[in-house]
Each structure stands twice: as C-alpha cells, then as structure tokens.
Amino acid sequence: MNSQIQQITKTEWEIPIGFVPGMRVPGRFFLSENLAENIEDGALTQLANVATLPGIIRYSFGMPDIHWGYGFPIGGVAAFNAETGIISPGGVGFDINCGVRMITTPLHISDIPDMKGLIENLFDSVPTGVGSKSPLRLSQSNLSLMLEEGAKNAVDMGYGMESDIRRCEENGAMKGALPEHVSKKARQRGIPQCGTLGSGNHFLEVQVIDNIMDASAAKTFGVSEGQICVMIHCGSRGLGHQVCTDHLQILESATKKYGIELPDRQLACAPLSSPEGEAYFGAMAASANYAWANRQIITHIVRELFTKKFGISYEDMPLIYDVAHNVAKWEEHDVDGSRQTVCVHRKGATRAFGPGRVEIPQEYRACGQPVLIPGSMGTPSYLLAGTQGAMEKTFGSTCHGSGRVQSRSSAKRSQTGEEVAEALLKRGIIVRAPNPAAIAEEAPEVYKSSSEVVQTVHDAGISRIVARLRPLGVIKG
C-alpha cells in the first residue's frame, strides 16, 4: 500500500489530501489488516479522485469490499452538499438499485428432502440469464406507473403483500422519479424484463440460518437458527443500464458546460440543482423503483412455488427487508453540528441506519435497520443491523457483499463451470445456471471472504452482525 496512506485504527485508513491533485477532502476506507494486503491501487486512486468532486462532505469513503469500478470504486460512498454538490452516474453504477432482499419461511432442512428438485423448480419458474423475459406483459402506461410507484405497483397488481412495502428501503419507491426522462430505448428494454433475475452476479439463493450472533436483534427481525430463507439479488436490468448510458452522455457535456474539472472522465457529473442533474436524478429514481418492483415480482413467484410445493401459506413467508446498494438519495444527516439534507451516493454500499431513524419500519426502529450482505455461491451471507456508529462515521453506510478479486475472464480461465459446480456439490451446495460459463465467472474463489468483510464492518462499528446464513442451493444469472 502507498506510504502516504495512514492507518488510523485497526480497521480505518486515510488517504490524505494531496494524494491526487485537487482533493477537497481526505479519503477514508475500512479494511482489516489482512484485506489491506491485497487492496487494488487503482481502487484507492478512484477513491481519491472522488474526493476532488465539488460539494463533497467530510470524506470520500470506501467499504471493505472496495474494488476498481467505473468512476467511483465499487464499495464507494460520498455525500454532497445540496447547493454546491454534484450528482454522478459513476457514483451509482450501471445497474441502478441493484439490491438484495430476504424472505423467511417456516421450513427447516428436514422439510426439504429434495433440494436439487427445489432448485430445478426455482430455475424453471424464475426467468434467469441474458435475454430472459418476464411473465408480465406491461403496457407503456403500466410501465410508467411502475417507474413512479415501485414495489407498491407490483403489490397492487397482486404480486405480494402490503407488509412487503414498508419493509423495503424507501418503502420500495424513491420520491422524485421522473419517468419522462427514461428514454424510449430504456423503456423498450424494460417492458419484457420486469420479474427476471438477469445475469452476472445476480442470484436467487436458498439458505439456512446456521448461527445467531445477536439473539435480541434476531428476535426483532423474526429469524431463528435452522430456518430456511431465500435471498434475491438483482436490479433494474436493461432499463437501468440504458438510463445510465443515456445520461452519461448528457452529463459529459454538462461537466464541460459548468466548468467542472475532473481527474477521470468517468466521473462525469452535473450540479444537483442543474436541469441535467435533476433529469438524471429523476430517471435514476424511476429506475430504482423499477428494480424494487422487479424484486417484488420474483418474490411472489418464489412464494407461490413454496406454497404449492410444501403446503405452507403465502403469509408465512414474510419479507425481512429489501436494501439497495447502487443508488444516490436525498437523506438527512448531522453535518458539523446541524441536520442537513445531503445527496448520498452509494455504489456497492448499503444503507445501515442506526436505531431511532424514522425511515426504519416501526417494528425494527429500536434495533436499527436490517442490512443484508450476500456472500458468493459457496460462502455465507449475513444479516446485520445498522448502528449509530455508521450514522457518525459513514453517513449511515456499510459494505454490500464480498467484493471481487478476480476478473470474469480470468475466472473462466482458472476453472470450468462444471468443476466449480462439482466442488460446490461436494460441500452440499447445488448450483444451477443458464450455462457453465455463468458458474465459472462467479466461483467463490473470485471474491474476498464475506466473513472477513462483515467482521471488518462489525469491528469498525458501522454495522453489527446478527445472523449467518449458509447456502444450500443457488440459481445464478
């Protein structure tokens, strides 16, 4: 690691102003000493580059799953002043509101004698992979409503329960969505894809809770050891990708128009109050709402399958929570002794609001927000709780997953999908994907240790571990 970087505590490190020209604030990132041994220099340079952006407040942050990305590093967080700050698609990512949700069931492992059969059923029921198409046939007016109403729109169409809505971050719909700034091409891509898992690192995983670390919080969240759960990880599909592509072109011009000097053109941005900035925010919010509806529809498909296969009731599979990890949002935070409304960019990072925040569902409020951290196909996932430490240190943010350490092409050269699937099967984990390459790209070895990443944020005090979930069967996109 560069000698200019200072270790502040056991888990906190600082990039000083001057690391790259034009930094307005330091960079601050969270790593265990073991994870620090393999940090990418490029990711730290990107973190420093973010610190040059106008209106940035306090620090440019990196979570323990930090790795090189487009503009911002993945695992990056930055808050911007409402009057002097900017909004940047590079701080959100192409998969707008890629996120995770978790539902519980009343089942235990002994209730599922044929896990392979269950995974095959799920693979047949949930549209998966590149080009997969939804069971829905949305009209343009239906899509516009979905872009405004998010998860509520899906529930209103019969895909879920009213209680699902309040257990989504932002109640499953960001305010300020402007569907008119979602292009015709983005809409065309979105109409056939809502209710589909997609490809890449997206997944649907059947898990068992194998360790409760915080009994009080687990009781509050309604989870118990031995319980079978389902975790769903996906985002806004082709619609969100197209929105990002469209507005990047606009914001590249806006960067020049407003005289913003950037160390990296991938940080293209515009003032939050500018027409270009407001148009991107509105289109991004609409895409985020589409993503919440997407996960809601997949949840409905899963519940219906479990109801039919195991004879359990639909209502006995509650949503624990749904969190976004690629989004920019207006939030209230304490800054320099006063409460301010700021725009927080989280790219590969999760909101982790501490106890008492009104944004958290009433039943969880005294405990802190549920935080979902998926592992890879062969490593544990975790349920965490947000903390006051996160509110004080990171604008209420924590990690989002494991973080890649190997490219997709390199992963495919290392081992075949068949070899990965066989190794997982020996450990009792069944994997199903549209093709072997999709499995090879997402082999557990290409990611950091989810357990070490989660332990780092726990030790740093920016979230606390509640429960560990072990994978039993997974569908990869």
Which residues are part of the catalytic machinery? 400
The answer to whether the beta carbons of residues 128 and 270 sit under 8 Å apart is no
175, 76 contact by CB (below 8 A): no
b (16+ CB within 10 A) / e for 114-124: eeeebbeebbe
Please report which residue ranges of 271-398 form alpha helices under DSSP H. Answer: 275-310, 388-393
Burial group, residue 452, by CB count within 10 angstroms (0-12, 13-18, 19+): middle
| Residue 211 main-chain phi, psi, to 5 deg | -160, 125
Q: Is the dihedral of CA 246, 247, 248, 254 positive or negative?
A: positive
Note whether 387 and 352 are within 8 A (CB).
yes
Write down the number of H helices and E strands in the chain.
15, 19
H-run or E-run covering 87: strand 86-87
In which element (H, E) is residue 257 found?
helix 237-257
**Token pair of 337 as six digits:** 């002794």
User: Per 3-state DSSP, what percentage of the chain is helix, strand, and coil (rounded to 5)?
Assistant: 40, 25, 40
R_g over Cα of the chain: 21
In angstroms, the first-to-last Cα distance of the chain is: 35
Q: How many CB atoms lie within 10 A of CB 4?
A: 12
| Dihedral sign (CA 58, 64, 65, 70) | positive
Structure tokens at 192: 């056939």
Query: What are the start-end ranges of the H helices in 112-150?
Result: 115-125, 140-149
